[in-house]
Structure 1
Amino acid sequence: MSTDRVKKMRNYEMMVVLKPLLPDDLRKSIHKEFMDMMEQDKGEVLDVDVWGKRYLAYKIAGHNEGYYIVYDFKSSPKIINEMKRLLQLRQEILRFMIVEVDHPEEIGTRIKKKEIEV
């Protein structure tokens, strides 16, 4: 990788809340889409933290629960807007949030870790 490319990479954290009753194959396809985007952008996925099914603070689209996945990744800023657009189009996603992380080593505590099988 050139030094210009490395300098443009930034750290991000993304939380995705999926509909709670999605079949595993659909969850895996959403995960695969994200991983493919990272690969195309030459980004790096640092961590995938699957929280699983949790209660929501309020109903979203008639759901009391959501399936949470948190991604820590490095990517160029140019792909973030495209990623947001694609996430908004997916009906299986209740909510998502992408934030830039200044100090990735200081990210909060981890809730029960689970492996996502792709």
Structure 2
Amino acid sequence: MKDMQKYETLFAVRPDMTEEEVKAMVEKIQNVITSNGGKVEEVDEWGMKKLAYKINNKYRDAYYTLINFEAEKPCLDALNHTFRITEDIIRDIIVKRY
């Protein structure tokens, strides 16, 4: 694990999801990180926030979560893949921390 780097991901899920569904989604993302060799350092649930613009011509709000983690490239690939195929996640970003 010599290539472990520090990253953070911020993702937004649909505002019409229940609290249980949102918690399950956050757990799902954490599981993707840990099951692919990553290590979750901190989870910060920001809650419901207003979006700067409408997404998909219908969402004006979204539930945001920030996760700080350590990972290697295969973990990032798996995380990006999960973001792409999960319709409930309407926006996401992964940034390397220094």
- For 1:79, the equivalent position in structure 2 comes to 75
- For 1:69, the equivalent position in structure 2 comes to 65
- Computed over aligned residues only, the root mean square deviation of the Cα atoms, in angstroms, reads 1.2
- For 1:107, the equivalent position in structure 2 comes to none
Stretches of structure 1 that go unaligned for 5 or more consecutive residues are 103-118
Runs of 4+ in structure 1 off by over 4 angstroms are none
Structural mapping, 1:31-46, within 5 Å: 31-46=26-41
| Alpha-carbon distance between aligned partners in 2 of 1:93 and 1:38, rounded to the nearest angstrom | 16
Percent pairwise identity: 25
Larger RCO (alpha carbons 8 Å, 6+ apart)? 2
Amino acid at match of 2:60: N
How many equivalent pairs are there? 97
Q: Which has the larger radius of gyration?
A: 1
Q: In the alignment, is the contact (CA less than 8 A) between 2:14 and 2:63 conserved in 1?
A: yes
Stretches of structure 2 that go unaligned for 5 or more consecutive residues are none
Normalization by structure 1: what TM-score?
Answer: 0.76
Which structure has the highest strand share of the two?
2
Normalization by structure 2: what TM-score?
Answer: 0.90
Secondary structure, counterpart of 2:12 in structure 1: strand
Secondary structure, counterpart of 1:8 in structure 2: coil
